[in-house]
Structures are given as C-alpha cells and as structure tokens.
Structure 1
Amino acid sequence: MSYQDSLQRFADAVLAADPSVEPYRTNLISGHAAALGNTFKLVKCLLGAETFSQLSHVYAAHYPAAHWDINRYGDQFSRFIEAQIHGPRGSYLDWSLYSDVAAIEYAITEQYYADDEAYPSFVVLYAPEKLTLSLLQQLHLAHPYTDISTDCAGAKALHIYRRGIALYINGETLSPNGYADD
C-alpha cells in the first residue's frame, strides 16, 4: 500500500467516525471549534462560552472545512446560527442578531486573510435595526484592526473591504430591488 493510499484510508476513517480513530476525530472537531472561537470572537462573547462551545462543536462535527487554511473555517456558521431559530430553543436567544454578527465577523476574517487583490465583501443583514453603535464598538474591540464607520449603525447592508493591511466597514442602503444604492 502506498503512502497516499494510507493517508486516504485514514482520512476516510476519521470522516466516517470509525471507532479506531475516534481520538483523531475528536482532535479534528476540537481544532475546528477552536478556530471558530478565533474567528467569531464577538459571537462567542454575546452567546457566552458554554453555548458557543456547544454550537461550535456541533458545527465542526457536521461541516467540513472548505479551504485548506483553518483561519477561513466557518463560512456557513452564520447560516447555521440562523437555523437555530427553528430549533427547540428558537425563542430563547436572538439568533438573527448573532447570525448577522457572525456574517460580519466572517467577512472581516475573509478580507483579513485574502489575497491583496481580493473582492470586497457585501453583507446583507437580517436584523439591521439591532446593529447599534454599542454593538459596533464591541465589534471594533473584537477586531481592533478594522475601521468601522458610524454609518453602519442601522444600515441594511455592510461593505467590508481591505486597503493594504487595513480593513474598512461602511454601511450601505438597499434599493427596493435589494441592491446597494449608488
């Protein structure tokens, strides 16, 4: 058996939850859950460490990485959080707010780790009225390398982009057809 075949068999066993490789699978899930904690710092703060840990471990167990860079893990996390509205604790927490914050934080991370000529990110918010100045200040504390414009408070969408090593977030209004106004 070749080295490549051995690696493929091992990877298949980890992903299939083969009991003989359970420690490796647990390590994989824990590593991905920790990466989510690094990316979604404000969501973790807002939800609390225990709730965030539970959500991140479930997400990591069911959503494989789409990119080789662990820093870019979590591209579906905001949708996963939004789906919690339909769960048994759907009315317990403000899932739409946490989903919006997660979408913003992932866009920040995406821009931070992007190539120099990356396209800007555009995030449409589910609950724009909940994006207050206080929440924007918390977001800036979680991501201090990001310049967040005060016009983001209450904006229906955010334009997140990078110039050199600096990140910027500006609020956008949407026309009735759902596109950003020029």
Structure 2
Amino acid sequence: MISYDWVVVSVNYRLNTKAGYPTQLMDCKRALRWVKDEIRVFGGNPSNIVAAGDSAGGQMACLLASTANQLDLQPGFESVDTTVQGVLGLSAVVNLVDTENYYNHGGRSRFIKEVAKREGSPESAETCTAPITYLEVPGGHHCFHLISSPRTWYMIIAASQWLNYHFEGIRGKDGEIVEWDWD
C-alpha cells in the first residue's frame, strides 16, 4: 500500500481481557481517534481512512466500520467522528448472524453470549446494509496470503486496485484520475 502512496498505520488491540468484548473494539476506536488527529502529519487525509485487518483483525475492522459513532463504544470521546470510508477485511469473520449455523457450528451463539457478553439470540444481532464488494480467491484458505505465492500476489494487486479505485482513483502519468475498467 505504501508503494501506492497510502499512509499505513499499524494498530494493536487487547486480545484477551477480563473485560471481554467490546474492549477490543474500543481500543480500535481509540486508535482511529488518534489516526484522525495525527494523519495529516504523515501526509494522510483524515477524511479518507480505510480500516483493514486479517482474520480477527479483519473482523475488528468490519466492526469498527459498522459501529461508527456508536456512543456507548466511545467512552470519553463521544464527540469524535469514528466513521471510516471502507474496510479491507482479509480472512475476516463477517457472518455472525448465520441463522442456519452453516459456517460457525454454534460459534455465533458463543460469540454473542460469551465473547460479546450480550444476552439474546443471534437473530437479534444487527446486520450491515452498506455496499460490500466480496472477492473470493479460488483455492484460498484462511490466511493463505501469509505465505508468498502467485495467489498471494494477485490478492495484493486486487486489494491495491480496489483501494485506489474506490478511494483515490487510478492516476495517469500526469496525475489525472482516469477511468478504471474492471472487466
């Protein structure tokens, strides 16, 4: 992403805490607050932030985007705008309301009750209505991209093109934004 002139910020959050969820999400929101305050120093634009992550980090990025400005998740910084313009979730768990229990084998109920420490059924959880671009890599498995391979490089190229297309535009030789043909 750096080679495409994106400013990249690596964020960490508490993985296992007695406080349970949403402590991790609050950590991410606090980091986003800092990024929005400081990104200009590094040449970035606080109005053009994309959250990204891999595996659980991808899930945190998705949750960050889907809980923008939710005041109970922003204690002490309720007035800060915590919207992001997009999410790049790699190997992210995104279907926690799978009512047929197709993917998680009981995992969504465990997440809601034990990890999120919320009462209620999975069916009562919120769903996202934002536009989503889904790209499945043939033969890809969870975290396949951690090992260098042609498949990994194609995924990196696709992610870079998606980011540039949606958020910066593809720039021609003279810096002008040119149309991109996905076909």
Q: Calculate the TM-score normalised by the size of structure 1.
A: 0.28
Q: Which has the higher contact order (CA 8 A, sep 6+)?
A: 2
Q: Calculate the TM-score normalised by the size of structure 2.
A: 0.28
